[in-house]
Amino acid sequence: MNDLAKNILLWVVVAVVLMVVFQSFSPKLAASQDVVYSQFVQDVENDRIKSVDISSNERSLDFVRADGSKGTTTAPVRDRDLINDLIQHKVEIKQAAPESGVSFWSLVLNFLPVLLIIGFWLFMMRQMQGGGAGKGAMSFGRSRAKLQGEDQIKVTFADVAGCDEAKDEVGELVEFLRDPSRFTKLGGKIPRGVLMVGPPGTGKTLLARAIAGEAKVPFFSISGSDFVEMFVGVGASRVRDMFETAKKHAPCIIFIDEIDAVGRHRGSGMGGGHDEREQTLNQMLVEMDGFEGGEGVIVIAATNRPDVLDKALLRPGRFDRQVMVGLPDIKGREQILKVHMRKVPLHDNVRADVLARGTPGFSGADLANLVNEAALFAARRNKQQVDMRDFEDAKDKIYMGPERRSMVMREDERRNTAYHESGHAVVAMSLPKADPVHKVTIMPRGWALGVTWQLPEHDHISKYKDRMLEELAILFGGRIAEEIFVGQMSTGASNDFERATQLARGMVTKYGMSDVMGTMVYADAEAGYGMHSKTISEATQQKVDAEIRRILDAQYTVARDILESKRDVVEAMAAALLEWETIDAEQVKALMEGRTPNPPLGWEDKSDKGKRDSDAAPPAAPIGGPVVQR
């Protein structure tokens, strides 16, 4: 908009200057007095006129009187005796020559407004067309794909980690783009398209860029939403233009991100923009595998919703392969962390394998954010290197939110939270199949007043009944500790009960883990479990509710027995939390074994540990996550 305003102002200035110049060249007429023709004739007869300038049409007369004053008059009819009278009274006569044509300057002055309007219109049209760069409103039919040359892409397979299977799957594309004859001489055909499927942040776009970087070919990138426009036919036009441009740069790669924006099932909607989207999809289907195939053009698309794509788009000849780019496992997370750790100075105590074990469910983007947050923590502490403490603090912030040290809590609130979290931790450490406790804290983070964090030894792919039952007991440990050691109940366990009920309901209605109800699904996927379910009767629903109640009560009893038998451990752990606010795995292990734990590293620096008195009430229970929260 600034450039447009500057250009308009420039044109206005130029127009004003031209008008001033033209006016300077126009003849300057002295001030004259208009008189009636009869008065002019009388002045001639009285010898008051000195000279007369007769116009070419002999109707208009400019005269000069004897006293030097000027005047002008118009003869109503052509006077034949006027010349004789002027000669008789010795008046100087001047006759203007007949005009042979229109002068250049008069023509310019007459047409200047029209020229200015036309010039301004042409200028605005050029601006709408984006100066010929294909970015303006009048170029909406052109492709918006961004072209990156083979020398511009610096990403290679060495920069992609955590998805070895996906890299192997797309490795053939690199070999084909480097040496197509190796495959075509045996009659083979390289896949026309590759669809990358996976959750957000797993590296689908990065993998596509790495393919282009390894093959050293041009790379066109565009989003699925860039094809959609308010004008009918624009999407199809952009698809045609994109493939025509790509064929000129073949061999090359076209990468379409979020293809589900234009590749949804056809016929699932009605009218308007839906028809436009279908036209765009139809054109894409034709371009990928129609009468005129795009030789040397490989289409790579990414989506996290493959279930909504049209079947014609997924058939062989278009997207021949579907490459799963899932969340990385513990080995993949370690490799990804090492890739991102190259960019930051690391302390010797940083262990990528420990961090990988403590970040289950993290995507590649989450791990990149973890390294960045750790670097920011180190910068705030004026360190020259990023150490393990920075990574642990960054991990806690990402998982549980930032610490709320300014939050004012009464001492009885802190004491109740300490017992609550101690109950979770002691039950978790006492059950054989439960993940070991990594950290326990009563420092408020996010919406949680306290957190008990369990760190799995390895990634869990499937859920098993014994582990799920132990998870129920761990969730009940917080409320039971409040009942036993504080003698009251609080709302802090509401989220624990919600998660426990949901887990037990899934065991009964979805997973067939109940001996009473058997291996049958009682949950309606559309209506959900409850009064509106159409799959079970009211009598069966009562049996389901009773079985859920039985499982919850049984695990509630298991947790209570553990805490009753280990009262001294709970007391010691609560005292340690009240003093240090956060204890780690080594301290939890020492407390479970009856030993006195060592103080946590750096706890002396925490001068404001939260021992403040106020009438502030605790917030509502937080939303559940991968950790047990109060």
| Cα–Cα distance measured from residue 124 to residue 142, given in angstroms and rounded to the nearest whole number | 19
Q: Which residue has the tokens 């010691």?
A: 572
- Amino acid in position 180: P
CB-based contact 437:508 (threshold 8 Å): no
In angstroms, the CA 392 to CA 395 distance is 5
CA distance 39 to 218: 89
Q: Is 135 annotated as a binding residue?
A: no
DSSP 435-498: PPEEEEE-S-BTTBS-EEEE--SS---S--HHHHHHHHHHHHHHHHHIIIIISS--GGGHHHHH
201 labeled binding residue: yes
Q: How far apart are CA 363 and CA 329, in angstroms?
A: 9
User: Which among 330, 339, 385 is positioned nearest to 359, based on CA atoms?
Assistant: 330
Report how far apart, in Å, the C-alpha atoms of 177 and of each of 192, 215, 230 are.
12, 6, 37
Q: State the catalytic residue, choosing from 169, 421, 470, 482.
A: 421
329 marked ligand binding residue: no
Residue with tokens 């590293």: 601
Is 200 marked within a binding site?
Answer: yes
Q: Which of 41, 60, 62 is nearest to 52 (CA)?
A: 62
Angle (CA) 562-565-570 rounded to 5° is 80
Cβ neighbors of 630 (< 8 A, separation 6 or more) are 417, 420, 421, 448, 449, 450, 451, 478, 492, 493, 621, 622
φ, ψ of residue 590 to 5 degrees: the values are -65, -40
Helix, strand, coil percentages in the chain from 3-state DSSP, rounded to 5: 50, 10, 40
Pairing between β-strand 297-303 and β-strand 321-324 as defined by DSSP bridges: unpaired
Say if residue 202 carries a ligand binding annotation: yes
Q: 274 among the known binding-site residues?
A: no
Strands 60-65 and 49-54 turn out to be antiparallel
Catalytic annotation present for 526? no
Would you say 540 is a known binding-site residue?
Answer: no
> Residue 487 in contact with residue 426, Cβ under 8 Å?
no
Please indicate if the annotation marks 199 as binding a ligand.
yes
> Which phi and psi angles does 146 have, rounded to 5°?
-95, 125
325 neighbors 201 (Cβ within 8 angstroms): no
CA angle 432, 438, 444 (to 5 degrees): 125
198 annotated to bind ligand: yes
The full 3-state SS of 343-354, as one line of letters, equals: CCCECCCCCHHH
Is the distance from CB of 279 to CB of 240 less than 8 angstroms?
A: no
| Contact criterion met (CB below 8 Å) for 22 and 105 | yes
Q: Answer yes or no: is 420 a known binding residue.
A: yes
Please indicate if the annotation marks 263 as binding a ligand.
no
Q: Assign 509 to helix, strand or coil.
A: helix
Residues with catalytic function: 421
Binding residues for Zn(2+): 420, 424, 496
Binding residues: 198-205, 420, 424, 496
Binding residues for ATP: 198-205
